[in-house]
Amino acid sequence: MQRRSWPGRPKDRRLEFAGYAERIKGSVSVRDVLTLNGIPVNRSGFAVCPLHGDKDASLKVYDKGRGWVCYGCHKGGDVINLAMQLYGVGFQDAIRKLNEEFSVGIEIDRQQTEKEAFQAAANIAKMKAKRKEEQMKAEAAERAYWKGFDRWLELDRLVMDLEGTFDHESDAFPDDFCKAIIERNEAYEDLVTLEERRLMECVK
């Protein structure tokens, strides 16, 4: 039996808007949205977060303006996610607003042709593959971070253990103690780098 379509039944436009989202993210950056709303981004990529009472410029812009994360309120995402939270709107309305504010030129309310719908489906498949790849990178960055953390913690405990094995009033510290401190400091520097990489992979 052939399935009937009910008159006036709303069209599911999620696939269509997912395609619009990729165009928006390719045309509008996080820096653009912040600047338009009177929030400057410094040379280091930091800005005052508009989502909480931020006074320390806790929001960091990553990936050439395509991603962001706030170290204060621990929120992050892409430009559409920022617009949703900044303007208090849903996904589709955020796309409409960015399309209008930055004159992206997407004819959102025009009926898609069959060719355009096919292209949108192909774009979604490509986007899903990209997201899977990004997820794998994020998971690898997470594992690398905790491995680095365990290494730093191990060295930190070693330094504390060695501190109790010699007289601190002596003129020279033992070689093994000095070596442990150097290795611990190097491990901490590596940990900071791994943390930045982990955050970058999480907000892409």
Residue 99 confidence (pLDDT): 87
Residue 188 confidence (pLDDT): 92
Going by pLDDT thresholds of 50, 70 and 90, the confidence category of residue 3 is very low
Residue 10 confidence (pLDDT): 43
pLDDT tens-place string over residues 56-80: 889 999 866 678 999 889 888 899 9
Domain ranges of the chain: 11-117, 130-204
pLDDT tens-place string over residues 96-147: 889 888 888 888 776 667 776 677 677 667 766 776 787 788 788 889 989 9
The CA distances from residue 101 to 9, 97, 178, in Å, are: 30, 6, 58
DSSP letter string over 118-154? HHHHHHHHHHHHHHHHHHHHHHHHHHHHHHHHHHHHH
Residue 2 confidence (pLDDT): 46
Residue 123 confidence (pLDDT): 64
CB 30 within 8 A of CB 79: yes
- Is a pLDDT exceeding 50 seen at residue 33? yes
CATH 3.40.47.10 matches 11-117: no
Q: Is 13 helix (H, G, I), strand (E, B) or coil?
A: coil
